[in-house]
């Protein structure tokens, strides 16, 4: 079937290739380690499947096709398997019989199924080796041939490049060797089971794919696993062949070592146990995903890339080059999930490439060491937000760890970043200006036309000032501490006032160069809310609008309101749904104690884990239909960070302050959750486990392992509740709840101590409302019901809802008996419309009541204001 090539000419290989000193005869077949996190599903054509490690990446599809990278090199594309059986003249493409996909943190398995054979293709990315390992587990009724095919590339990642590539078969290693005229960059793809391979020109890469054949004896295959090894290096032929040999020699143990790495990684993460098992699973998957952004480039060092996806005919694997801003956003999740060591490494990595004026890098190509990247390309320092985000990330890392030594070590870079910040705040209001600092929220489109100062950059910069004042005070830099404090006070006042639109009752997207304002409602305003920069009444106006269907969909938040004339559901910056932007909106809702508007975004991010590439989160989705865009990166890390960030910082309200040896827990749980357990919350070197219990009229917290940390528990009391009581370890204590716009907060303090402590808060009456949760299917439009406002009123409670015009819905409430005293509706045009609401029977054991509502008829979405009062 193929021409056999027993030897390769010495001109091709540059001399004889050393034989493997200790050839591996067998890899005993055995069940590979299993994982409690394993996700299993039917193969879906076109859906992304990735297996990535710090040094190599398999970027492909669930049907088995892939491209293979050993950083910074793309070795090959269109890697795939086919199978030859006697009954068929032509090989059977693997893509046509790929049936099942199994994804684990340590790798993935594709199951090919045919009437005469079954093949399980295990794909693994060794942590410490520049290469990949594929293990084939085969059961067959008769002899079989596996045909391995790929299109050789051997090229640097964008924008690097070189010529002179060629390919040849090494009979000694049973592997193709990819090389180039200087033999500096090399790759090997082969298997000790291979028997024959295609011949190729000695001076160039042929247009035809490279192919080798593995004959499979069913009896031997029943005893052994079949390895396919992929390795590469940009440091010479010997380096590449040595990596190939090591991977092959360790092939039997690599699955166990990867499994041990995954188990160790999971053990050090925060673990959650909620009434929603799928949320618990998605949370852990998202945190493990964040480990996969770490790439170790042999020339540049180890840092965080933005995302992964096949490059196709190009040389850009998704966003698999180093991105500073993306990494800083993911770090805000990682410092509260237990991944602070990786954050520290990344902060130092970015500081290494800081520009002389103090600006932090926006993006660094994997090929930066081989190109004039920092000298000639416009992208390295493209964005303005990376620098204040880096400053915020240093601050949040310090708050989580209390690591003063790290801050002192990185302070020279921080001072340079501070100097850059001051140089780009020119009008004295403390807010960074885009016209001097650079791009931030918007890269393309009319939304950014005429922009002088965007609310997103202004908000991140204001948060950076708060951090600068605290960090500088902690290490004794009095001049920066004082100046940052003064600038921060001015910035807080300016951002809330300068961007406020009283007529529209929300914050503007930007201040313009002509002195006007961009009056568009965007999700970027939520960044000011998540950092707590707005007055309560103004925050309420903005957040209610961000919770409405103009911005909120069943799968996340649109960047731009669908009511804007600039809205386009497929536009990168003007209408698509981004998970990381969704996290800004969700955290903003939680910051101002609007959990019924915040939790639906947590729920939406949970769904993304299972609905698309298993265990991964896509970069962005359509603003109109539940579907990622065709050009989206399927595995984007700041998308993965959205779920753990919103849940830990929002739903749980976790805020560590290790420098002060204290932490705050301010949970805003869904009313129908009666228990939550959280293990391994970190405050510096201390670890806390908490158990939360909540029923109608009471809430409890059990704390274990506080050590030298003081814990403040801010217990949410529903609006309308009275007679609030509290006890600590069975002893009654006095507390005075603080009234808010939407609830009350009773604060208890657990003093430092290692023993188990138990607190309980009880109350009479009150009412809570549960956010209705949507379950969209692929391709559907957004149809969910949204809670826009809820709180106490003179006669009882007020509840504002939004839903599809003319539809019926049930909204769950919990607490004392209720009755409906009034209903007012608005149709999609804003005109009064007939709506209805009735309260069902209360369940005495749980205090739950179903509120049945009907939205006014019309087109689009309608609103309903419902007035409730205590019932009989």
DSSP-derived letter for residue 337 is H
User: How large a percentage of the chain has pLDDT more than 90?
Assistant: 89
Q: Residue 384: which pLDDT band, with cuts at 50, 70 and 90?
A: very high
Class of domain 269-512+520-651: mainly alpha
CATH code for residues 10-15+36-262: 2.70.98.40
Task: Confirm if 667 and 674 have CB atoms less than 8 A apart.
Answer: no
* CA–CA distance, 861 with 322 (Å, rounded to integer): 42
pTM across the whole model: 0.95
CATH 2.60.40 given to domain 769-870: yes
Distant-in-sequence, close-in-space partners of 409: CB < 8 Å, separation ≥ 6: none
Where exactly are the structural domains of the chain? 10-15+36-262, 269-512+520-651, 654-767, 769-870
* CA–CA distance, 652 with 672 (Å, rounded to integer): 15
Q: What pLDDT sits at residue 779?
A: 96
Distant-in-sequence, close-in-space partners of 453: CB < 8 Å, separation ≥ 6: 431, 432, 433, 434, 435, 498, 510, 511
Q: What pLDDT sits at residue 681?
A: 96
Q: What pLDDT sits at residue 391?
A: 98
Structure tokens given for 108: 């993935």
Mean pLDDT of the chain: 94
Peptide bond into 159 cis (omega under 30): yes
Q: Residue 754: which pLDDT band, with cuts at 50, 70 and 90?
A: low
Q: Residue 815: which pLDDT band, with cuts at 50, 70 and 90?
A: very high
CATH tag for 654-767 (out of 1.20.120.450, 1.10.3430.10, 3.40.1160.10, 2.60.420.10): 2.60.420.10
623 or 752, greater pLDDT: 623
pLDDT in tens, 697-719: 999 999 998 678 999 999 999 99
pLDDT in tens, 233-253: 999 999 999 999 999 999 999
Q: What pLDDT sits at residue 845?
A: 80
Q: What angle do CA 616, 618, 619 make, to 5 degrees?
A: 135
Q: What pLDDT sits at residue 12?
A: 45
Structure tokens given for 101: 């996909």
Mean per-residue pLDDT, 833-840: 90
pLDDT in tens, 413-451: 999 999 999 999 989 999 999 999 998 988 888 999 999
Q: What pLDDT sits at residue 1?
A: 38
* CA–CA distance, 143 with 578 (Å, rounded to integer): 50
Max Cα separation, the chain? 94
Please state which of the ranges 156-165, 582-591, 618-627, 751-760 shows the lowest mean pLDDT: 751-760
644 or 12, greater pLDDT: 644
Angle in degrees, 0-180, between the axes of helices 404-423 and 340-352, rounded to the nearest 10: 40
Rg of the chain over all Cα atoms, to the nearest angstrom: 29
Task: Report whether pLDDT(202) > 90.
Answer: no
Structure tokens given for 241: 């062949």
pLDDT in tens, 14-29: 443 343 333 445 899 9
* CA–CA distance, 571 with 620 (Å, rounded to integer): 10
Task: Report whether pLDDT(565) > 50.
Answer: yes
Q: What pLDDT sits at residue 706?
A: 65
pLDDT in tens, 458-508: 999 999 999 999 999 999 999 999 999 999 999 999 999 999 999 999 999
User: How large a percentage of the chain has pLDDT more than 70?
Assistant: 97
Distant-in-sequence, close-in-space partners of 377: CB < 8 Å, separation ≥ 6: 159, 365, 371
Q: What pLDDT sits at residue 404?
A: 97
Task: Report whether pLDDT(10) > 60.
Answer: no
């Amino acid at each position: 079937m193929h021409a056999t090539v027993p030897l390769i000419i010495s001109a091709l290989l540059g001399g004889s290739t050393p034989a493997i000193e200790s050839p591996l005869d067998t890899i005993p077949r055995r069940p590979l380690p299993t994982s409690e996190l394993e996700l299993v599903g039917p193969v879906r054509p076109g859906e992304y499947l990735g297996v990535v490690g710090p040094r190599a990446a398999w970027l492909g599809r669930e049907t088995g096709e892939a491209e293979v990278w050993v950083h910074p090199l793309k070795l090959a594309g269109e890697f795939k398997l086919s199978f030859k059986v006697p009954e068929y003249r032509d090989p059977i493409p693997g893509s046509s019989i790929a049936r099942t996909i199994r994804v684990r943190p340590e790798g993935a398995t594709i199951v090919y199924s045919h009437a005469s054979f079954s093949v399980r293709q295990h794909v693994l990315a060794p942590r410490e080796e520049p290469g990949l390992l594929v293990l084939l587990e085969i059961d067959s009724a008769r002899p079989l041939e596996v045909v391995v095919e790929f299109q050789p590339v051997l090229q640097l990642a964008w924008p690097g490049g070189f010529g002179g590539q060629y390919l040849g078969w090494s009979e000694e290693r049973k592997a193709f060797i990819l090389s180039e005229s200087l033999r500096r960059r090399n790759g090997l793809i082969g298997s000790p089971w291979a028997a024959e391979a295609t011949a190729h020109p000695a001076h160039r890469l042929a247009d035809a794919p490279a192919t080798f054949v593995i004959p499979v004896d069913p009896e031997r295959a029943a005893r052994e696993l079949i390895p396919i090894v992929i390795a590469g290096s940009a440091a010479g032929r010997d380096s590449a062949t040595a990596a190939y040999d090591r991977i092959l020699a360790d092939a039997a143990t690599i699955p166990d070592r990867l499994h041990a790495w995954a188990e160790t990684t999971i053990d050090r993460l925060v673990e959650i146990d909620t009434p929603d098992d799928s949320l618990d699973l998605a949370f852990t998957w998202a945190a493990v995903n964040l480990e996969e952004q770490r790439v170790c480039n042999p020339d540049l060092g180890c840092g965080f890339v933005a995302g992964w996806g096949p490059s196709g005919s190009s040389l850009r694997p998704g966003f698999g080059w180093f991105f500073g801003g993306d990494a800083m956003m993911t770090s805000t999740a990682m410092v509260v999930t237990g991944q602070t060591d990786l954050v520290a490494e990344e902060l130092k990595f970015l500081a290494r490439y800081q520009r002389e004026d103090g600006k932090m890098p926006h993006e660094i190509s994997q090929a930066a060491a081989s190109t004039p990247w920092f000298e000639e390309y416009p992208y390295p320092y493209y964005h303005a937000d990376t620098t204040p985000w880096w400053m915020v990330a240093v601050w949040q890392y310090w708050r989580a760890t209390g690591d003063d030594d790290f801050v002192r070590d990185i302070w020279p870079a921080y001072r340079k970043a501070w100097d850059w910040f001051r140089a780009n705040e020119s009008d004295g209001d403390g807010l960074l200006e885009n016209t001097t600092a650079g791009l931030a929220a918007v890269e393309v489109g009319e939304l950014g036309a005429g922009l002088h100062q965007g609310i997103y950059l202004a908000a991140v910069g204001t948060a950076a000032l708060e951090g600068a004042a605290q960090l500088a005070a902690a290490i004794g830099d009095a001049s920066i501490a004082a100046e940052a404090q003064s600038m921060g006070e001015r910035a807080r006042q300016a951002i809330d006032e300068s961007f406020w639109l009283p007529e529209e009752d929300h914050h503007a997207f930007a201040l313009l160069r002509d002195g006007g304002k961009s009056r568009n409602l965007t999700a970027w305003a939520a960044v000011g809310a998540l950092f707590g920069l707005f007055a309560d009444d103004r925050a309420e106006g903005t957040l209610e609008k961000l919770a409405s269907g103009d911005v909120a969909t069943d799968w996340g938040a649109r960047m731009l309101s669908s009511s804007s004339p600039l809205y386009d559901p497929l536009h990168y910056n003007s209408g698509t749904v981004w998970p990381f932007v969704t996290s800004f909106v969700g955290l903003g809702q939680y910051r101002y104690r609007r959990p019924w508007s915040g939790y639906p975004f947590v729920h939406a991010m949970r769904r993304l884990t299972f609905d698309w590439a298993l265990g991964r989160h896509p970069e962005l989705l359509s603003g109109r239909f539940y579907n990622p865009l065709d050009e989206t990166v399927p595995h984007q890390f700041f998308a993965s960070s959205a779920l753990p960030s919103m849940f830990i910082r929002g739903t749980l309200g976790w805020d560590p302050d290790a420098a002060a040896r204290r932490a705050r827990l301010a949970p805003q749980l869904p009313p129908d959750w009666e228990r939550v357990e959280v293990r391994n919350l970190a405050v510096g070197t201390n670890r806390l486990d908490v158990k939360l219990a909540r029923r109608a009229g009471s809430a409890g917290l059990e704390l274990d392992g506080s050590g030298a940390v003081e814990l403040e528990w801010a217990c949410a009391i529903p609006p309308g509740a009275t007679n609030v009581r509290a006890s600590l370890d069975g002893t009654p204590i006095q507390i005075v709840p603080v009234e808010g716009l939407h609830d009350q907060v009773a604060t208890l303090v657990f003093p430092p101590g290692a023993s188990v402590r138990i607190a309980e808060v009880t109350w009479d009456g009150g009412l809570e409302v549960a956010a209705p949760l949507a379950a969209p299917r692929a391709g559907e439009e957004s149809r969910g019901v949204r809670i826009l406002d809820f709180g106490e009123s003179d006669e009882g409670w007020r509840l504002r809802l939004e839903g599809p015009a003319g539809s019926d819905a049930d909204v769950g409430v919990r607490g004392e008996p209720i009755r409906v005293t009034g209903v007012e509706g608005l149709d999609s045009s804003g005109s009064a419309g007939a709506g209805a609401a009735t309260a069902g029977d209360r369940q005495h054991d749980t205090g739950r009541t179903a509120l049945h509502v009907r939205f006014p008829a019309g087109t689009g979405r309608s609103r309903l204001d419902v007035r409730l009062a205590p019932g009989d």
